[in-house]
Structure 1
């Protein structure tokens, strides 16, 4: 899913000095867990297929602040896949998908085929989902090749979400007038209005919480796309047109955000991400300054929402932060809720000077290798996966050149860690020489893919992900590949060799 009602007063967010602080009621989550049930029938599912649920406690889009619970089931005697799980928060977001046995195309993803993404369950849901193919396309090629029918208690919010998913079309890009000012009558705004009207027509068939949250998710998901497109377009405008755009910014914000309930803003993972993207757009810079982006969060937001958006910032952008230790120290002082503080504490693994994680993985020759095997060397880690276009570009433009420069230096080690779940695909990609060299230490996380402890420890979210480690085994840089060019990496390695 990865003009709405016009606000009577424009929001005062254009200038930092005028920025108002958002305040939200705290989100209590100490209710005893109550169950949700989802039973699924799927004619295309093979007897060996497993259906799985990822349930997120205190979700931050696609990650949990609390626990990520995994439920896997096989087909029962009634031909159904039955799930039953406690809803620990007011709602629990979840992903639903199929895991196939011995899939030759399996890469790093958890699911082989995703059925539902970022849906939410309420206590007392008792749902039946029937999945049937509606055309002659190969099985499990695209979710839109299937008809998903929901029935039972709580089902209307799911069927409404499916309808909303089919409403959005991103091809028409009429968001900015010729002079650079914002066009209120753009395609996505009209689609948002249509979606809101559809949700309101279903309001009597769902709970107030579900109605409000579905509306907030819908509005925010579309506006995420719009804000990202606007950021891309505005960065290419000349100075006059860019000034015209930001002069119309209050009108833009009024269009972006119709009245939404405070409670749903806290619960919605989409709204959280939308606000973060909006802060990026507000910067009025061709390239986002992520340190500056962080600095506005504590002043623009309050309460539990502030803590949630700071945690999401670290989850999405930790590798972009230049003054990491300083920003992290400030964040620790801002985040006081025990659960969110525990989540943030996991990002101390990126602090300059902390010991690097001593992983153990198998190399392309079947030998077990650990980070400690390279003790006393300057170590460069590169995380990648097959099909990653930026991984290919980074290796071709930068990393391959640096590897050649230090090829004969025994005090420098290059380690490439792959997260493909298929050994065959991984070995084939090594031989292609597009992602890595056969001269470096090539390691794989095996069939656990991105769920391996080394990936979880470093919270790797995007690829390629470079990590530089000094000769004492401490983190020097958990970096952004766009700034870690061949020249910059060479300079840093040479400096570490002198220590």
Structure 2
């Protein structure tokens, strides 16, 4: 009897569906240095390409034996985004080997990664370059799902040619010719879209219907995002540099604006398309500009969308642009009043908690170099500049040497400001030795307090509270213990000094 039930289930498609709730990823790797493990990140829920790095992931590690690795990813109910690389052992920052790519339920992929080598970012202030990720000289992909990855690479090649064309066109344009440039650039966008859709058509028979629709949405939406960004930036440049031509530039942008026609695709496809969600968020910003900035961009998104599309686009807008909004708290409160999707609601609440000026700062309690516990409450009455760092972080050293150390010196005799550096080094001796070297922080300045996360590294509640994903990371906290600013503080010396002085003035 059981045998007949299984046959019936197979005939009805039940068993294949269940079997496809997982995917397998195997591969080989040849690198310039020995790799003992490799990491895989899986995004079950996404928003836009610009926000994906800040979203929750499932993380898997696989040991490498004789250059070979294997991942088995369970519980995949729809196409998900993945990427390969390594986690920094100290800071837990993820060092990418490849861009985010799609994985479908039932995939069984084999990747041959050849010529893996470190990609380094040069920082003038330090002698050693900073490891920023990994590059791959060649990738060979086989197995179920390989066609989709081949498509991604073909589309990227066309994107690279497009960027080269736009770069050459842009180099010849002076500000007075911006309006003509806006007109002349549109055919290039049209050509790229036609070409990429032709490439997609060549792969249609090798893709599932759902994946074909998703790729169609991604390709089209990404093209329109680029169009809107291009027109948006052009208008802003004219407004700043040649205000007398602003009306003409604005009129040209209105004339060249046209919506992407994707509403006929299934709603679930559009909701899973990171580029389509990006398009809705970008369109809100662009329409706000075209209509004189009289309506907040998120209001356009709210009024022209519904359900999960509205919720995702609203959330993406605040994650990408929220920290530049002067009345962020009021807008977030309004958005939370109508957002329904639990994933989006949680992200909006987190954005409010860690980014909104006026929100209470986390009352940390951490040891200094003498072992004394220092809390944020101890510093009440002072403006507090916080800098997160770790030993070996080239960007941390570069920011300290080129900017932070000079700002500390400029405000050395101001009793109303204190600089707190917080290291996520797990080893206390490593941290102490780095402090003494004056490479990441100042050891002898009276207005500097050096703390570390007491051996917990990036797993400390303070680091988790602020969702620190990259280093260095800064906060500016007011005399009342509330956040003044939680982003865009990694500034050159004079700009950072001006921000802190303004905060001191407004708090008197």
| Structure 2: stretches of 5+ with no match in the other structure | 1-17, 121-132
Task: Name which of 260, 264, 279 aligns with 2:284.
Answer: 279
Secondary structure of the corresponding residue to residue 59 of structure 1: coil
Secondary structure of the corresponding residue to residue 22 of structure 2: strand
Query: Is 1:357 the counterpart of 2:362 in the alignment?
Result: yes
CA shift, 1:93, in A, is: 1.3
Match of 2:164 in 1: 171
Match of 2:503 in 1: 492
Secondary structure of the corresponding residue to residue 99 of structure 2: strand
- When residues 115 and 446 of structure 1 are mapped into structure 2, their CA distance, relative to the original with a 3 A threshold, is farther
For these two proteins, the number of residue pairs brought into alignment is 452
Match of 1:457 in 2: 465
Kept after mapping to 2: 8 A contact 1:57/1:66: no
- When residues 336 and 429 of structure 1 are mapped into structure 2, their CA distance, relative to the original with a 3 A threshold, is farther
TM-score when normalising by structure 2: 0.72
Per-residue Cα deviation, 1:123-143 (whole angstroms, up to 9, x for no partner): 11111111123xxx9566786
CA shift, 1:330, in A, is: 0.6
Query: Is 1:162 the counterpart of 2:192 in the alignment?
Result: no
For the aligned residue pairs, the C-alpha RMSD in angstroms reads: 4.5
- When residues 443 and 213 of structure 1 are mapped into structure 2, their CA distance, relative to the original with a 3 A threshold, is farther
Q: Which structure shows the bigger proportion of residues in helix conformation?
A: 2
What is the rounded CA distance, in whole Å, between the counterparts of 1:291 and 1:451 in structure 2? Answer: 41
CA shift, 1:192, in A, is: 2.9
What is the rounded CA distance, in whole Å, between the counterparts of 1:395 and 1:289 in structure 2? Answer: 37
Match of 2:348 in 1: 344
- When residues 420 and 91 of structure 1 are mapped into structure 2, their CA distance, relative to the original with a 3 A threshold, is farther
Secondary structure of the corresponding residue to residue 355 of structure 1: coil
CA shift, 1:224, in A, is: 4.1
What does 1:66-465 align with in structure 2 at a 5 Å threshold? Answer: 67-76=56-65, 79-99=67-87, 109-111=93-95, 114-133=96-115, 145-169=136-160, 170-173=163-166, 174=169, 179-180=179-180, 181-183=182-184, 185-237=186-238, 238-239=242-243, 241-249=245-253, 252-254=256-258, 261=265, 262-284=267-289, 292-349=296-353, 350-359=355-364, 365=369, 370-372=374-376, 374-383=378-387, 392=399, 396=403, 400-401=406-407, 404-405=410-411, 407-409=413-415, 412-417=417-422, 427=434, 431=438, 439-443=447-451, 453-459=461-467
CA shift, 1:345, in A, is: 2.0
| Structure 1: stretches of 5+ with no match in the other structure | 1-30
What is the rounded CA distance, in whole Å, between the counterparts of 1:334 and 1:321 in structure 2? Answer: 19
TM-score when normalising by structure 1: 0.73
CA shift, 1:149, in A, is: 1.6
What is the rounded CA distance, in whole Å, between the counterparts of 2:303 and 2:144 in structure 1? Answer: 42
- When residues 406 and 85 of structure 1 are mapped into structure 2, their CA distance, relative to the original with a 3 A threshold, is same
- When residues 401 and 448 of structure 1 are mapped into structure 2, their CA distance, relative to the original with a 3 A threshold, is same
What is the rounded CA distance, in whole Å, between the counterparts of 1:65 and 1:124 in structure 2? Answer: 27
- When residues 468 and 65 of structure 1 are mapped into structure 2, their CA distance, relative to the original with a 3 A threshold, is closer
- When residues 338 and 143 of structure 1 are mapped into structure 2, their CA distance, relative to the original with a 3 A threshold, is closer
What is the rounded CA distance, in whole Å, between the counterparts of 1:87 and 1:321 in structure 2? Answer: 38
In our comparison, the structure showing a higher alpha carbon Rg is 2
Higher relative contact order (CA 8 A, sep 6+): 1
What is the rounded CA distance, in whole Å, between the counterparts of 2:435 and 2:204 in structure 1? Answer: 52
What is the rounded CA distance, in whole Å, between the counterparts of 1:259 and 1:429 in structure 2? Answer: 60
What is the rounded CA distance, in whole Å, between the counterparts of 1:182 and 1:226 in structure 2? Answer: 11
- When residues 290 and 370 of structure 1 are mapped into structure 2, their CA distance, relative to the original with a 3 A threshold, is farther
